[in-house]
Structure 1
Amino acid sequence: MEAWFAVEDGWTEPMVKNDKGESMLKPRKQWTAEEKAEAKHNSQAVSVIFNSLPLDQFNSVQGCVSAKEAWDILQVTFEGTSNVKRTRLDNLALDFDNLSMEEGETIASYISRLSAIADEAVIMGKRYKDKTLVKKFLRSIPDKFQPHRSAIDVSFNSNDLKFSQVVGMMQSFEMQLKKKEHRAE
């Protein structure tokens, strides 16, 4: 946990003032126990970050002395600046709005695509509520699911349903449809 604090809070080498009143690095032999502990936690965090990266990503942070410095570089690399992040979120929202289940696609396949967008949004700082996911799911499934969609609308308050519950109900209905189709062949 202390190593993570070094990532969040940052770490700098201890400084002292010289005879002229100028700041300079404090000799390691003069570090206090607390300064040594903070340096150790920073070193642990830097080590974990460095060892977790492939070579091409390591090259961008190899000169970093503090874990926070390395983390900040990686954060911009993977998440982008606030403008990039906002644009990515806008694009995800557009993808979410435009997503619909294709004819012949399985519920599992569609849920996988829908969940991928929702999960990426969470990484970017936006969480879709169950209510939103349920409404999106029910709106975007093909007409062959209409009877079951109507049954859910009549029998349940969709605002109170969990996304996983609705998915489970539709997967069950899909299995019944496939069984009927198989028998008809």
Structure 2
Amino acid sequence: MHTLLYAVGPDEYSRVSSCFNAKEIWEKLEVTHKGTDRVKKSNVGIFTLNYETFTMKPEEDIKVMYDRFTTIINELKSYGPIPLKK
């Protein structure tokens, strides 16, 4: 518990300082940064749609396109393994 309290910044500390155990701190930080399960599912759906409909825009060069694609992939990865559609 002390490790988590020392690791967070001042904004997060004020949110979690009243927690009674490490699990409670972790859960509060998780919801704060990733959202609830409902929000997570919604975000995964949005990022998946962005991935599936990804195309190069006429005005962008290959580097900008690659950076945009990498951002979409990293956002998807941040939510853990994504189940494949059958």
Higher relative contact order (CA 8 A, sep 6+): 2
Return the letter of the residue paired with 1:83: R
Structure 1 equivalent of residue 39 of structure 2? 84
Structure 1 equivalent of residue 2 of structure 2? 47
| 1:65-123 superposed Cα distances (whole Å, 9 cap, x missing partner) | 32111001111111212111100101111222232212242322211111111111111
TM-score by length of 1: 0.41
Rg larger in 1 or in 2? 1
Identity level (%) = 27
Structure 2 equivalent of residue 116 of structure 1? 71
Q: CA deviation at 1:47?
A: 2.5
Counterparts of 2:46 and 2:37, CA distance in 1: 14
Structure 1 equivalent of residue 17 of structure 2? 62
| 1:24-71 superposed Cα distances (whole Å, 9 cap, x missing partner) | xxxxxxxxxxxxxxxxxxxxxx23322222222211110123211100
Structure 1 equivalent of residue 53 of structure 2? 98
Gaps of 5+ in 2: none
Structure 1 equivalent of residue 29 of structure 2? 74
User: How many matched pairs?
Assistant: 84
Return the letter of the residue paired with 1:86: K
Return the letter of the residue paired with 1:89: V
Counterparts of 1:114 and 1:48, CA distance in 2: 35
Q: Where does structure 1 differ by over 6 angstroms across 4 or more consecutive aligned residues?
A: none
Counterparts of 2:8 and 2:26, CA distance in 1: 12
Distance change in 2, residues 1:117/1:126 (3 Å): farther
